[in-house]
Amino acid sequence: MDMDIHGYRIPRNHYVASSPIPSHMDPAIWSTDQNADYSPSSSRSEPEEEFTAGPASHAGAWMPFGGGYHACPGRRFAKVIAMLSTMMLVIGYDVEVLADVKQLQVSMRNFGFGVSRPAERVKARIKRRGDGILVGDNLLKC
């Protein structure tokens, strides 16, 4: 069955997505200079100063997994898997991008549906370091 929400008709069997970008670029929460080019250190007056422009300093301003009743049920699992995968890559491999990083363009094709991708293929060299990662008494093979 079709739905009407605030004057917008949503046909049956169609997906609806909302972008987190407007809330993540809201000048009432984030300063204008932070909106132009994201930089983790943009809110610091001194490089050594503790970084505070984030979820803890702006409750509810950063919602990559949605919120409330419709929050992603796998958000904690996804976060753990993303962190573990990144950890294993960083510790276990040397990664070298074989392109001029400043010339890379981001594809907007999948905007709002996960991680952004480069507009074109990017060559990279990935080389394993050693035998694996030692975690406690266990050697994890990479």
Residue 48 lies in a domain: no
Averaged over successive runs of 10 residues, the pLDDT of the chain (142 residues) comes to 87 79 69 52 49 54 70 86 88 88 81 74 88 68 62
Write down the pTM of the prediction. 0.43
**What residues does 90 pair with on adjacent strands?**
none
CA dist 1 and 13 (Å) reads 8
72 annotated ligand-binding residue = yes
Please count the structural domains in the chain: 1
Residue 65 lies in a domain: no
Q: Are 136 and 126 in contact (CB under 8 A)?
A: no
Residue 114 lies in a domain: yes
Q: What is the structure's pLDDT at 81?
A: 92
Q: Are 140 and 88 in contact (CB under 8 A)?
A: yes
Q: What is the structure's pLDDT at 41?
A: 46
3-state secondary structure of 88: helix
CA dist 108 and 99 (Å) reads 20
Residue 137 lies in a domain: yes
3-state secondary structure of 85: helix
What residues contact 40, with CB distance under 8 A and at least 6 apart?
51
Q: Domain span at residue 76?
A: 72-142
